[in-house]
Amino acid sequence: MVKKVFFVDDEIVIRENIRDCINWEAEGFIYCGDAPDGEFALPLIEEHKPDILITDIKMPFMNGLELSAIVRMRLPDTKIILLSGHDEFEYARQALRIGIEDYCLKPLGAQDIVTLLRKVTDKIDKENAEKIKIEQLTRSLKDKAKFTQDQLLSQLCGGIIASAEAIELASTLNLSLIAKQYAVILTDIRLHTEDSNAEQNLINRIESEISALFNEFAEHLTSKRSRTETVWVLKSELKIRLQHLCEKIIDAVRLIEASYGCSISVGIGSIQDRLQGVHASFLEAEEDKYWRRLAEQHRTALFELSGSFDRELFLDRDGFIEFLSMGSPRQADAYIQQFVAGLAAIDWESSLFGYFSLNHLTFEVIRKARKLFRTALITEESIESLKRMIHSITSTDDARVYIAHLAELFWRWRSDSAGKYGELITQVKSFVQTSYGKDGLSLQDAADQVNVSPSHLSKVFSQETGQTFIEFLMNTRIRKAMELMQSTNAKSYEIANEVGYNDPHYFSNLFKRVTGMTIREFRKNGWQHDIPFGEGGTTSA
């Protein structure tokens, strides 16, 4: 930034010589004024607020030392250079006490003045950079001081915070996030009461019971998403303990529902072996909760329509899903013939139970497919086509043909999904290459870009590249930062902002952890060794 200069000297010849003999604009300065003594100069200095004041010491009315003392008090950021025609120790001692930048003996030529001004300008720029850095660090520390457990888990589940930063923030809250295995479970408790106080008390009691159940298998941290919904981040050293918990949670919740007369929606995410995987597990838990809730609505409708029919007589949905997952097309005819036997007793003209059974079966097949395959493959058009086929069924034979078509469609989705992620990964990487500078860029943003679910993208990206999405984003940002450090003179905080990090302190620590060098060491030495990241990198985020 261009610096403003003000000059004070009682000799008009010297003032005019300094003013006219320097090409101020070309040298990168603005000559904002001059004065013959301190008293005359003071109001002008307060008006122009120069970055640098050059003043003679011996002047009438108010000398340079007196002027400097007042300016240091009123404009502490203004740098002061004192000029003197006498090499006297007392002047220098008083100047040092006031806090001036330099003490020079006359005469000084134009080039000497320019050299002196550039030296002071460098000091101003360094001080300003340090101020910005301190302000950013102060804001960052204030933000961290205000951080709560709910905010931390919200950012972790939202995929907008790297593992290292999450662990650092957790330590400020006296929380431990480090474990070998993680999983996320969502619960949404609904009570049939209009008394809000009583409702909240009951929700607290129910969540205490759920918490006690979780404590039998794993440690957990909780975050409230709303008055009724809670996020449970589970962590354990043993995967099998989390597996047992996920198997038991639904049955345990059903007992709690019966005890309290409430309804509890549950979503269960997959078990992850990285802290960064909490985001994927959370997304899966959200999707699982949604589908479980719809499944419960289907079951309720079926039970209301079942009448005198034996509910266990009809379609073994779990068995059919297992057959689709493990069986093959050549076994389909025999299996489906046996599978539809339970529908033989239905009068398709007078009862809607058969249609609801097929609707529910279709719902469970699509739910399974969405978990396993690319979301883009399962279009709304294909779902609408299945609904129309169900509405046209008039007999058990029609039902058998429909179920065979459903199985064929499932296997087609599986076939189309297998080994065809290259284009998807390329699109995601291209998106990161063009958007890495966006603060808060997340897995959700990338998933929206390529039209797949975040949980699916997280799983596929890790399988295909050997690193998580957040790791790839971090490595991309660090590589770009290294390029900027070698090709520009930008400050480190400017580069941090350029590559998507608004906290320069965090960026500096991250850079050291990834490259093994501080920013200063890298600027000095450049590429001295292979950096452990890239297409198949495993550097921790």
Please spell the DSSP secondary structure of 406-432, one letter per residue: HHHHHHHHHHHHTT--HHHHHHHHHHH
Question: Which candidate, 458, 426, 418, places its Cα nearest to that of 287?
Answer: 458
CA quadruple 384, 387, 391, 392: dihedral, nearest 10: 70
* Mean pLDDT of the region 204-219: 90
Residue 536's pLDDT is: 37
- What is the architecture of the domain spanning 150-300? 2-Layer Sandwich (3.30)
pLDDT confidence bin for 365, thresholds 50/70/90: confident
pLDDT confidence bin for 186, thresholds 50/70/90: very high
The domain segmentation of the chain, as residue ranges, is 3-140, 150-300, 306-367+376-414, 422-525
Q: Which amino acid does the sequence have at 335?
A: Y
Residue 412's pLDDT is: 82
pLDDT higher than 90, residue 231 = yes
91, HSE (Cβ side, Cα atoms, 13 Å): 18
pLDDT tens-digit series, residues 488-509: 888 888 999 999 988 888 888 8
* Mean pLDDT of the region 449-464: 79
pLDDT tens-digit series, residues 143-154: 555 568 888 898
* Mean pLDDT of the region 470-479: 88
pLDDT confidence bin for 197, thresholds 50/70/90: confident
pLDDT tens-digit series, residues 18-68: 888 889 988 889 999 999 988 899 999 999 999 999 988 888 888 888 888
* Mean pLDDT of the region 520-524: 85
Percent above pLDDT 90 for the chain = 17
Residues 464, 536: contact at Cβ < 8 Å? Answer: no
- d(Cα 452, Cα 431) in Å, to the nearest integer? 14
pLDDT confidence bin for 539, thresholds 50/70/90: very low
Whether 150-300 and 422-525 share one fold: the answer is no
Residue 138's pLDDT is: 64
DSSP state of 346: -
* Mean pLDDT of the region 92-120: 79
Higher pLDDT, 297 or 134: 134
Residue 507 vs residues 8, 479, 484, 486: alpha-carbon distances, Å: 45, 13, 14, 17
**Which token pair is 346?**
């239905």
Other C-beta atoms lying within 10 Å of the C-beta of residue 145: 8
Residue 476 vs residues 44, 165, 460, 498: alpha-carbon distances, Å: 51, 17, 19, 12
- d(Cα 518, Cα 516) in Å, to the nearest integer? 7
Residues 541, 475: contact at Cβ < 8 Å? Answer: no
Non-local CB neighbours of 412 within 8 Å, separated by 6+ positions? none
* Mean pLDDT of the region 514-532: 73
- What is the architecture of the domain spanning 3-140? 3-Layer(aba) Sandwich (3.40)
Q: What sign does the CA torsion over 29, 33, 39, 45 have? A: negative
E strand spans, 18-133: 29-35, 52-56, 79-84, 102-105
* Mean pLDDT of the region 242-265: 88
- d(Cα 32, Cα 274) in Å, to the nearest integer? 60
* Mean pLDDT of the region 100-123: 84
Residue 313's pLDDT is: 42
Non-local CB neighbours of 54 within 8 Å, separated by 6+ positions? 5, 6, 7, 8, 18, 80, 81, 83, 113
pTM (2 d.p.): 0.46
* Mean pLDDT of the region 459-477: 80
- d(Cα 61, Cα 40) in Å, to the nearest integer? 9
pLDDT tens-digit series, residues 305-329: 444 444 444 567 778 888 887 777 8
pLDDT confidence bin for 435, thresholds 50/70/90: very high
Greatest mean pLDDT among 193-207, 224-238, 378-392 lies in 224-238
pLDDT higher than 80, residue 260 = yes
Return the biggest CA–CA distance within the chain. Answer: 118
Question: Which candidate, 445, 410, 408, places its Cα nearest to that of 279?
Answer: 445
3-state secondary structure of 488: coil
Question: Would you tell me which CATH number, out of the four given (3.40.50.2020, 3.40.50.720, 1.10.10.60, 1.25.40.320), belongs to the domain 422-525?
Answer: 1.10.10.60
Ramachandran region, residue 444 (left: φ > 0; alpha: ψ -120 to 50; beta: rest): alpha
Residue 287's pLDDT is: 79
Residue 338's pLDDT is: 86
pLDDT tens-digit series, residues 269-291: 888 888 888 988 898 888 788 77
Residue 390's pLDDT is: 86
